[in-house]
Structure 1
Amino acid sequence: MSPLDRKLLRDIWRIKSQAAAIGVVIAVGVLMLVMMSGLVSSLEETRRAYYERYRLAEVFAPVTRAPESMIDELADLPGVAAAEGRVAGDALIDIKGLSLPLQARVVSLPDYGAPTFNDVFLTDGRRPEPGNRDEILLLTSFARAHGIKPGQNLRVTIRGAQRELRVVGLAQSPEFLYLTPPGEIAPDDSRFAVVWMGRATAQAAYDMEGAFNEALLSLARGAREKAVLDAVNRRLERFGGLGAYGREDHLSDRYVSEEIRGLRSMSAVAPPIFLGVAAFLLHIVVARMVQAERGQIGLMKAFGYTNLEVGAHYLKLVLIIAIGGAIAGCLAGIAAGRAMVGVYLEYYKFPFLVFEVRPSSFVMGFVISTLSASAGGLLVLRNIFALTPAAAMRPPAPADYSRTGHIADALAERLDQPSRMVLRRLMRQPGRMAGAVMGIAAGMAISAAMTGIMSGFDETMDLNFNFVDRSDATIAFVNPTSDKTILELQRMPGVIAVEPVRNVQAVLRNGLKSHRGTVEGRVPDPRLNRALDTNLRAMTMRKEGVILAASLARKLDIEPGQMLTVEVREGRRPVLQIPVIGVTESLLGSPAYMELDALNRALREPGRVSGASLKIDTARSAELHQRLKNMPAVAGVSLKSDARESFRRLMDSGAGAMRYVMAAIAFIITFGIVYNSARIAQAECERDLASLRVIGFSKWEAAFVLLGELAVVALVALPAGALLGYALAFALAAGFSSDLYQIPVTYGRGDVGIATLAVLAAALLSGWLVKRDIDRTDLIVALKTRD
């Protein structure tokens, strides 16, 4: 081992605590990169393999009723590789012990053989036998939520007719990776089911003998999806086509895609922050070592070591810390990614999800961490190359305090000796002090921004379920029905208020931009389910146009005053030109609102409603639930309390759970910055502190010189961190938000206060660790150290 390498090992051992702190910051950045990139690649690869193996359709074409002969015509269309028809519809499941029936989706399977598209993955039991019309498959997650096993009977209501069906197997499907009850955004395994039954059974239940109500298609290589969709819509129009759509508009795939997009966005933002801070810390540490070891550098050069050899010695120190942190970060990233897999398996119904990190993620983690760390060290190596042996072996020139003017003199008259020493140290190296301030401010900004994001998630919950939705339950009808049904609901015991709604499936277009969703008809002055403006005031539904959610208006690139094309996908399927008259701040989904009567007039269907919001007397809720259960027109009932709990679980999982991870990491990075600043200051003034002890200063007075500097730097960093956190909160809120939900920026005094406490806690812990070492300092050894 060469002398320089032996010196390298001694140097690393001497600064082991600082090296460990910097290594942790590097490890955190690499951890985030490996974990998030691994989750993205794992989700994408698992989704691709699952879709391919079980043949998820590329085009979905719902229709009111079409003869089976149309499947051959669809298969012959240019760009279509294959086509298959099936029967699908809504149903209710009656579970013993529950007062309300649960909603379900019924999907047909071929009586013989496997389906061409959207096959099922059998997790337990067997498939229904041909000719046995009472056998079904049940969604695995729903069955496990209610303890249902193969062999048990299930009471299912289809189109008002109730029958007992036998569960013979449990299954999953790529079509249902993410399931939500109708009208809700959060999944709930216990409140929504999927039932697969034989084609003949489904046709009889939905009056579809010799017909289908949904076509599934795959595209030929090189086919243009839009051209195929237009051709399919033209063919199915006379049979009540509801509008074909591609896989990217399928609700389940859309949720998974949004999750992947959010993870990819965070993986591009978070790791560079931590690695940049690590480069800054390494720059300070190496610069301090070079300054302290000027004499040693001069001796090495005098003994014949070249500039390159001496520079490589210090660069090796940087690389050892960076590579050690990168290795720890890779291992921790794998462990964290595997821990997150369980969360994704719970909410996204993959049959398996193996966390796999591509080698490129490890390479990228190593390359970025070493490059960022080297960047911090290379800036210092210039000084090494510039030093001649004679100049390096002389002490550095004393600091020039003349530039401080009369400010320092005026302050010095009012300060004691230790305080004057603190002041001189701050003014001696203002650039380094400013760097320490910005480093601590960056850590505080991350803490404050993440606390603000947590508050934003809570704000989303509060606004949506207390201000926007003030109902207790939402009812969906099987088909749009007469508004006389609302009068029937109002007469039911336990109903305090009823507010009708009309939800219409439609494609909204503005030029080349489009969105597949719904237009919601509301009463002129809604009280139970409201739309809010930018000032969170209730908006009145006006008859002259449509009100769009802000996220939807941005997606369509449309503003109030412009005309919106609405292609209705039900009933007579008219194409409407409606002016946009306002924008609402919707936090869930991307709704479009119209006044109820105006919407019905545009559809030429006066007095029709498709659902209602209810305010309920909780004392009579059981009686009301039983009455609703017996209404044949009711397709499902959703309680707001259940929806709220489901949404909270959604916010605490997946990408939403990352806010807790990043909040914890923010404290780690804050502590790393504060601790390194304190350690560097201790190393620089160790001889001065020992001198103070020898001339009679107490341990506390001597430590005050160092801790006072740390306190000033931390206090100056607080306002800078608060301002930086405000800007960062907007960037993070945009990253967490999606078309499915939006996170408002709620950056207030509480968020700044929590981040301030994190900085102060890190400063106190760092100060205690440093003071403990100061108290243990060998005064004789410290005084023998040559400046």
Structure 2
Amino acid sequence: MVSPLDRKMLRDLWRIKTQAIAIILVIATGVMLQVMMSGLVASLTETRRTYYERNALAEVIAPAVRVPETVLGRLAAIPGVARVSGRVVGSALIDVPSDPVPIQAQAVGLPESGVQDQNIVFLTAGRLPAKNHRDEALLLSGFAAAHGYKIGDRIDVVMNGAQRRIRIVGLAQSPEYLFVAAAGEMVPDPARYGVIWMRHSSLASVYDMTGAFNQALFTLTHGASEQAVIDAADRVLKPWGGTGAYGRSDLVSDRFVSEEIGGLRTMSRAVPPLFIAVAAFLLYIVVSRIVQAEREEIGLLKAFGYTNKEVGVHYTKLLLIIAVAGAALGCLLGVLAGRAMIPIYTTFYNFPFLVFRPDPASFAIGALASVVSASAGSVFVLRRIFALTPSEAMRPPAPADYSKTVSLKGAVGRLLDQPTRIVLRSLARSPWRALGLSAGIAGGMALASGMTTIYGAFDRMMNLSFTVIDRSDATVYFYSPLGEKAAYELARIPGVIAVEPFREVAATLKLGRKEHRGSVSGMILDPQMVRAIDDQLAPIHLPDQGLVLSQALADILGAAPGDMLTVDVREGRQPVLEVPVTQVASSLIGAPAYMQMQALNRAMSEPNRISGAHLRVDAARAEAIYQRLKDMPTVAGVSVAENARASLQKLMDQGAGSARYIMGAVAFIITFGVVYNAARIAQNERARDLATLRVMGFSKSETLFVLLGELGLITLVALPVGSLAGYGLSFAIARGFSSELYQIPASFDPFSHGFSAAFILCAAAISGLLVARDVNRMDLVSVLKSRD
């Protein structure tokens, strides 16, 4: 049976239904983000762990130039090694007839016995290559889908300068290729990079590895020291050109998946509490207004025998119903949103399976946070209820003392009409209420302007990267460093306008206890196509000695100009260099380190060597140029700037960067919720005053001006404050979205702040129209009798 207080509570909920719905949506938004992001973190983490375990992903990878198979025994004897195997890997090019650009690929050897004990491939279709069929191969399923390849198709592949025609007998995925990107590109694109698996003997004959291998895979015993195994493997493999063993965490694929998980985890902890806090603020204001308006009813309830506890529970229930409804809706939306995000991750990361599994803790945290926020607001409300005695509550409240408020007498007062003076007096008499509402609107403005600025920052990052930092049309990579003569050969190709050679050297950069496995980019003295720039977008002159670090790399190492870095080169003679940091560049993609090419070659004792070249080409002859490059045996790959930009744009719109759209929509929702509640609360609080003004002869428009003019002034005051807060927030959001893959440059964007201000004003106008409609329908007699 429903008690009288519960019936009253239901009537109260119906009366404030629009405000309750707005608050429920704000709470639901925060809980939705909590459930979605926590669920994605749990799903990605658990799927990755399961995939790695089922398919025995190696814990340590040790590449080398050419290692005799007899060395495997010495590697297996390293303390802490449970299992070791050697395989052949090599660069390849796939000739796709419909694409003039040679497609880069990785050729990977499979055990000759057919028994895979490490880095086991996951067959999505077909079968493994047969032992006695050297032309059979597996193809990465994502690449096959992008180009429409099926089992039984034949493709032309260039391996080690020799062209072969292979037959696809199966489609596969592998835990070491969750993230695939072409050389020189930092964005996954299944159409631009392929992986081919063939029998060991097939690849050994192609890459001159008969009786040898060039990559060792290690599985460690429980409790073994990864670093100790890495150091021991480097010592064993050094005579055979070992280029430095590394752990699973330095695997490019795992690194990018880990960064994605880390970014989601950070956002799941930082963003939802903000929305819960705003919801708590709105709940407090709404219920405080109800308690103030029902002062006499509370007195009557106490006079009829209801205790403080019973009355307090009544209003607490009202809060909790709104909070629980918001939490429940948020949990449901979070699951739906998480499931909607799964296809994005399966597109950019090659998981064979990925099911959204909500983290049970996120439901509990979301519900608990909602209830706690509502309870926190009820504490302040209950203090007012408990303080009221029946006799005091049933008397009209004592008139407020306005003797010390701002006076509008004199010349200023005479210039203002009566409605304007009423608005200004109301603001002066209730400054804390005005400040509270202004703070809520400013918070919405900050969220809206901060997220809108990030939209512009993403576009600015793209433009800077491909028009200021990298102004080339294409980049050519060689299988191994060649003499500078190779650059002149590229320049002689008809349609090539300019050539700018570079040297890329794999290295581990160390500063103190911090290190980063990457590369050093050697550039010519005065580069024109690909440049290092400072924060003013001016080109940086590369010194004769020293390194210029990108901001991302400087942050990773904690380096600053003047620091001495240890550069452990992992190719050629493998020198260990001590090089000073001369400057920090504003590179926006990747984490490069720049050095003058001649200085780098001198340090390597390999003068006049280049790893590739940046090209500017005649667009009309581009297809013929790329076809010519495809036929050159020394070319390991070609990266076309237009394709790289399109892939990055796709990532920004559909991949990790798509979260900015969700956050932007959420920011606008919360902004409208704050503005609408402010307007509705003002209407409810001043309904009797507005009716009195109408009876005294004020027109409808003048009465609405008294109500909405106050909200308009509060909104106008909130705009610059919110804009300033949004400017600071945009830097925090930019840091949250930035990773080693790309860095988002935050700055003041007038358009973003103007657009956000226009939205706030629009939200205020719509709220005003909704309130005005109710005011115009107001029954003056009923309102004036409401306190009799």
Q: If the TM-score is normalised by the length of the shorter chain, which range does it land in?
A: over 0.9
Counterpart position of 2:691: 690
Greater shift, 211-220 or 619-628, is seen at: 619-628
Letter in 2 for 1:635: A
Counterpart position of 1:388: 389
SS of 2:531 mapped into structure 1: coil
Task: Tell me how far apart the structure 2 counterparts of residues 134 and 620 of structure 1 sit (CA, whole Å).
Answer: 34
- Alpha-carbon deviation of 1:127? 1.2
- Alpha-carbon deviation of 1:690? 1.9
Counterpart position of 1:638: 639
Query: Can you list the C-alpha shifts for 1:251-301, whole angstroms capped at 9, x where unaligned?
Result: 000110111111111111211111111011011111111111111111111
Counterpart position of 1:54: 55
Query: Can you list the C-alpha shifts for 1:107-158, whole angstroms capped at 9, x where unaligned?
Result: 0111223321111111111111111111000011111111100001010111
- Alpha-carbon deviation of 1:582? 1.3
Letter in 2 for 1:84: S
Task: Tell me how far apart the structure 1 counterparts of residues 85 and 658 of structure 2 sit (CA, whole Å).
Answer: 40
* 1:35 and 2:42 matched: no
- Alpha-carbon deviation of 1:393? 1.2
Contact 1:496/1:614 (<8 A) preserved: yes
Counterpart position of 1:678: 679
- Alpha-carbon deviation of 1:407? 4.9
Counterpart position of 1:587: 588
Task: Tell me how far apart the structure 2 counterparts of residues 621 and 324 of structure 1 sit (CA, whole Å).
Answer: 60
Q: How does 1:698-709 map to 2 (within 5 A)?
A: 698-709=699-710
SS of 2:581 mapped into structure 1: strand
Contact 1:453/1:746 (<8 A) preserved: no
Contact 1:533/1:584 (<8 A) preserved: yes
Q: How does 1:249-260 map to 2 (within 5 A)?
A: 249-260=250-261
Counterpart position of 1:178: 179
Greater shift, 228-237 or 72-81, is seen at: 72-81
Task: Tell me how far apart the structure 2 counterparts of residues 155 and 294 of structure 1 sit (CA, whole Å).
Answer: 84
Counterpart position of 2:469: 468
Counterpart position of 1:563: 564
Task: Tell me how far apart the structure 2 counterparts of residues 619 and 26 of structure 1 sit (CA, whole Å).
Answer: 56
Counterpart position of 2:536: 535
Counterpart position of 2:285: 284
Task: Tell me how far apart the structure 1 counterparts of residues 125 and 134 of structure 2 sit (CA, whole Å).
Answer: 19
Task: Tell me how far apart the structure 2 counterparts of residues 558 and 57 of structure 1 sit (CA, whole Å).
Answer: 32
* 1:21 and 2:22 matched: yes
Counterpart position of 2:446: 445
SS of 2:128 mapped into structure 1: coil
SS of 1:129 mapped into structure 2: coil
Q: How does 1:15-414 map to 2 (within 5 A)?
A: 15-407=16-408, 411-414=412-415
Counterpart position of 2:550: 549
Task: Tell me how far apart the structure 2 counterparts of residues 556 and 304 of structure 1 sit (CA, whole Å).
Answer: 70
Greater shift, 472-481 or 557-566, is seen at: 557-566
SS of 1:609 mapped into structure 2: strand
- Alpha-carbon deviation of 1:67? 1.1
- Alpha-carbon deviation of 1:409? 6.4
Task: Tell me how far apart the structure 2 counterparts of residues 623 and 193 of structure 1 sit (CA, whole Å).
Answer: 23
Contact 2:406/2:428 (<8 A) preserved: no
SS of 1:236 mapped into structure 2: helix
Q: How does 1:497-536 map to 2 (within 5 A)?
A: 497-536=498-537
Distance 1:256 1:408, change over 3 A: farther
CA root-mean-square deviation: 1.2
- Alpha-carbon deviation of 1:408? 6.7
Task: Tell me how far apart the structure 1 counterparts of residues 76 and 380 of structure 2 sit (CA, whole Å).
Answer: 66
Query: Can you list the C-alpha shifts for 1:51-94, whole angstroms capped at 9, x where unaligned?
Result: 11111111110010111122222122111111111100100111
Task: Tell me how far apart the structure 1 counterparts of residues 667 and 557 of structure 2 sit (CA, whole Å).
Answer: 36
- Alpha-carbon deviation of 1:410? 5.8
Task: Tell me how far apart the structure 2 counterparts of residues 379 and 524 of structure 1 sit (CA, whole Å).
Answer: 68
Distance 1:22 1:488, change over 3 A: same
Contact 1:139/1:170 (<8 A) preserved: yes
Counterpart position of 1:743: 744
- Alpha-carbon deviation of 1:202? 1.0
Task: Tell me how far apart the structure 1 counterparts of residues 274 and 425 of structure 2 sit (CA, whole Å).
Answer: 32
Contact 1:441/1:720 (<8 A) preserved: yes
Query: Can you list the C-alpha shifts for 1:578-601, whole angstroms capped at 9, x where unaligned?
Result: 111111111111111110010000
- Alpha-carbon deviation of 1:623? 2.4
Query: Can you list the C-alpha shifts for 1:529-570, whole angstroms capped at 9, x where unaligned?
Result: 000012111011211111111221222122222211111111
Distance 1:494 1:112, change over 3 A: same
Counterpart position of 1:713: 714
Query: Can you list the C-alpha shifts for 1:670-725, whole angstroms capped at 9, x where unaligned?
Result: 11111111111111111222222333333222222111111111111101100110
Contact 2:344/2:655 (<8 A) preserved: yes
Task: Tell me how far apart the structure 2 counterparts of residues 275 and 305 of structure 1 sit (CA, whole Å).
Answer: 32
Task: Tell me how far apart the structure 2 counterparts of residues 416 and 562 of structure 1 sit (CA, whole Å).
Answer: 68
Q: How many residues align?
A: 787
- Alpha-carbon deviation of 1:425? 2.0
Contact 2:406/2:425 (<8 A) preserved: no
Letter in 2 for 1:129: A
Contact 2:243/2:571 (<8 A) preserved: yes
Query: Can you list the C-alpha shifts for 1:391-426, whole angstroms capped at 9, x where unaligned?
Result: 111111212221224357664332222222222221
SS of 1:637 mapped into structure 2: strand
Task: Tell me how far apart the structure 1 counterparts of residues 517 and 600 of structure 2 sit (CA, whole Å).
Answer: 17
- Alpha-carbon deviation of 1:7? 1.1
Task: Tell me how far apart the structure 2 counterparts of residues 447 and 604 of structure 1 sit (CA, whole Å).
Answer: 55
Contact 1:515/1:556 (<8 A) preserved: yes
- Alpha-carbon deviation of 1:653? 2.8
Letter in 1 for 2:17: K
Task: Tell me how far apart the structure 2 counterparts of residues 6 and 630 of structure 1 sit (CA, whole Å).
Answer: 83
Contact 1:338/1:355 (<8 A) preserved: yes
Unaligned runs of 5+ in 2: none
Task: Tell me how far apart the structure 2 counterparts of residues 314 and 490 of structure 1 sit (CA, whole Å).
Answer: 80
Letter in 2 for 1:388: T
Distance 1:245 1:289, change over 3 A: same
Contact 1:459/1:746 (<8 A) preserved: no
Query: Can you list the C-alpha shifts for 1:359-385, whole angstroms capped at 9, x where unaligned?
Result: 111000000111112212211211111
- Alpha-carbon deviation of 1:216? 0.6
Letter in 1 for 2:700: K
Q: TM-score, normalised by structure 2?
A: 0.98
Q: How does 1:645-656 map to 2 (within 5 A)?
A: 645-656=646-657
The percentage of counterpart residues that share the same residue type is 57
Query: Can you list the C-alpha shifts for 1:481-540, whole angstroms capped at 9, x where unaligned?
Result: 001111111122111111010000001111211100000000011101000012111011
SS of 2:83 mapped into structure 1: strand
Task: Tell me how far apart the structure 1 counterparts of residues 171 and 544 of structure 2 sit (CA, whole Å).
Answer: 49
Task: Tell me how far apart the structure 2 counterparts of residues 565 and 126 of structure 1 sit (CA, whole Å).
Answer: 47
Letter in 1 for 2:288: A
Task: Tell me how far apart the structure 2 counterparts of residues 242 and 408 of structure 1 sit (CA, whole Å).
Answer: 84
- Alpha-carbon deviation of 1:761? 1.1
Letter in 2 for 1:210: G
SS of 1:502 mapped into structure 2: strand
Unaligned runs of 5+ in 1: none
Task: Tell me how far apart the structure 1 counterparts of residues 740 and 470 of structure 2 sit (CA, whole Å).
Answer: 19
Contact 1:179/1:192 (<8 A) preserved: yes
Contact 1:486/1:612 (<8 A) preserved: yes
Query: Can you list the C-alpha shifts for 1:455-499, whole angstroms capped at 9, x where unaligned?
Result: 111111011100000110000001100011111111221111110
